[in-house]
Structure 1
Amino acid sequence: MSDFLLQTAFNASYAASYMALIAVGLVLIFGVMGVINFAHGELYMAGAYAVVFFYAGLGLPFIVAVAIGLVFVGCLGMLMELALFRPLRTNPLGGLIASIGFLLMLQTVAVLGFGLRNQNVPPVSQGRITVGGAFLTYERLYVILATVGLLLALWLFLRKSKFGWALRACAQDREAASLQGISINQTARYAMFIGAGLAGVAGALTAPLVAPTPYMGHTVIVTAFIIIIVGGIGSLEGAVLAAIIYAFVHTFVTTFFDGVIANIVGLLLMLAVLVVKPQGLFGVRERA
């Protein structure tokens, strides 16, 4: 029984890792730009298909394909900011609708380019770490380690660099930041690059494990919204903690019962947190 519980904990740690990357990216975009990006799940999908094309298709090393996926999806995010969100900066509802349109466009491109079938990505490694009767594959370990490294790098960037301070200032009060000489356009552009890139690298890292499809972003974006609501909209720390809580609850309930019940429990968890603390675990940042 202990081995079974340990195996489930390994699985939950993997799920918490890639969901934390997606949720943190979504929170960063919302915090700096004030827009709800419904296409965030499709950015995750785009990262996965970058690995399908460059790693499975062209035979490039996996780490190179992941890096390309990060940069490619980050650039997609910058394109969204320039073409969609910047012109609609004073119209949040318009930005939301525009993100849905971009979502449908990315899905269509994926269908035309790769078809509707699941894409089988060759395994990166056959190795595993065994602890008693439980094991953690190297592929899942890479996701966990990459997540820890990327989130630590983001934390240091936001708190130790001048540009990180500028991003945080815009997230807290865009008008006051602008009066201090901070470029709103520049911070929004780089926030989209970082936020989209985190979603893209999550998709790229998990591509060998999930068999990418054009519609894989649907479930991911719903889960990401649950996570950021539980953690507190605008809180990066809350997103990470909520991702861990949600992943462990969902994985254990799925293991002992089934996925449908796990989804219901996830929604009940969100409702319970909102009843007890309407602002989420880490509260909501004040916006201008």
Structure 2
Amino acid sequence: MPDFLLQTVFNASYAASYMALIAVGLVLIFGVMGVVNFAHGELYMAGAYAIVFFYAWNGLPFFVAVALGLVFVGCLGILMELTLFRPLRTNPLGGLIASIGFLLILQTVAVVGFGLRNQNVPRVSQGGITVGGAVLTYERLAVIVVTIVLLAALWLFLRRSKFGWALRACAQDREAAALQGISINQTARYAMFIGAALAGVAGAMTAPLVAPSPYMGHSVIVTAFIIIIVGGVGSLEGAVVAAILYAFVHTFVTTFYDGVIANIVGLLLMLAVLVVKPQGLFGVRERA
């Protein structure tokens, strides 16, 4: 039994890692741009298919393919900002609808380019760390380590760099930031590139484990929204904590009961948090 519990903890840690990358990217985009990006799950899908193309089909080293996927999906984010969100900056509902349209476009491109079937990505490595009867494979360990490194780098970037301060200023008050000479267009590009790239890395790192499909972003975006609501809309720290909380609850319930029940428990968790703290765990209560 202890080995079974430890194995579940390993599985939950892996799930929390890639969920945190996706949720933090979504929060960053919303905080800086005020846009609810429904295509964020498809950016995760695009990162997974980048691994299919660069690693599985063309034989590039896995982490080189991950880096290329990061750049590719980040550039997709910039394209979205330039063509969709910037023209609709004063129309949040229009931006939301445009992101749904972009979602459908990315799905169609994936179907045309890769087909409807799940793609099998070759294993990167064999074996893992064994503790008793529990095993943390090297591939899952890599997801955890990459997540920690990227989130730490993002934290340092936001708090120690000039551009990071600009992003935080825009997230707090775009009009005041513009009056201080901060370029809203430039910070929006940075936010979209970073947010999209984080989702792309999550898809790229998990591609050997999940068998990419054109519709893999559906469940991911729903989970990401639950996480950012629980953590507090606009809070990066809240997104990380909520990702860990949600992943552990969902993984343990799935393991001991059922996946459908786990989804219901996740929604009940969100409702319970909103009843106690409507602004989320780390959200700031609006002044009356």
TM range (shorter): over 0.9
Q: Which amino acid aligns with 1:244?
A: I
CA RMSD of aligned residues (A): 1.0
Q: Which amino acid aligns with 1:105?
A: I
The answer as to whether partners of 1:74 and 1:192 remain within 8 angstroms in 2 is: yes
Aligned to 1:215: 215
What's the offset of the Cα at 1:285?
7.8
Question: Matches of 1:110 and 1:194 in 2, distance apart?
Answer: 22
SS at match of 1:87: coil
The answer as to whether partners of 1:228 and 1:238 remain within 8 angstroms in 2 is: yes
Is 1:179 matched up with 2:172?
no
Matches within 5 A, 1:14-25: 14-25=14-25
Question: Matches of 1:41 and 1:150 in 2, distance apart?
Answer: 19
What's the offset of the Cα at 1:284?
3.9
Q: Which amino acid aligns with 2:236?
A: L
Is 1:252 matched up with 2:235?
no
What's the offset of the Cα at 1:286?
6.6
The answer as to whether partners of 1:172 and 1:286 remain within 8 angstroms in 2 is: no
TM-score by length of 1: 0.99
- Deviation string 1:36-94 (CA, Å, 9 cap, x unpaired) is 00000000000000000000000000000000000000000000000000000000000
Is 1:86 matched up with 2:86?
yes
SS at match of 2:65: helix
SS at match of 1:125: coil
The sequence identity of aligned pairs, in percent, is 89
List runs of 5+ in structure 2 lacking aligned partners: none
Aligned to 1:59: 59
Aligned to 2:139: 139
The answer as to whether partners of 2:279 and 2:285 remain within 8 angstroms in 1 is: no
Q: Which amino acid aligns with 1:222?
A: V
Matches within 5 A, 1:220-231: 220-231=220-231
Aligned to 2:112: 112
What's the offset of the Cα at 1:127?
2.1
The answer as to whether partners of 1:16 and 1:244 remain within 8 angstroms in 2 is: yes
Q: Which amino acid aligns with 2:189?
A: R
Q: Which amino acid aligns with 2:117?
A: R
Work out the number of aligned pairs and report it: 287
Q: Which amino acid aligns with 2:173?
A: D
Aligned to 2:95: 95
Aligned to 1:4: 4
Q: Which amino acid aligns with 1:79?
A: L
- Deviation string 1:185-229 (CA, Å, 9 cap, x unpaired) is 000011000000000000000000000000000000000000000
Question: Matches of 2:188 and 2:284 in 1, distance apart?
Answer: 20
Question: Matches of 2:278 and 2:286 in 1, distance apart?
Answer: 14
Q: Which amino acid aligns with 1:68?
A: L
Aligned to 1:75: 75
List runs of 5+ in structure 1 lacking aligned partners: none
Q: Which amino acid aligns with 2:186?
A: Q
Aligned to 1:271: 271
- Deviation string 1:136-185 (CA, Å, 9 cap, x unpaired) is 00000000000000000000000000110000000000000000000000
The answer as to whether partners of 2:43 and 2:200 remain within 8 angstroms in 1 is: yes
Question: Matches of 2:214 and 2:69 in 1, distance apart?
Answer: 16
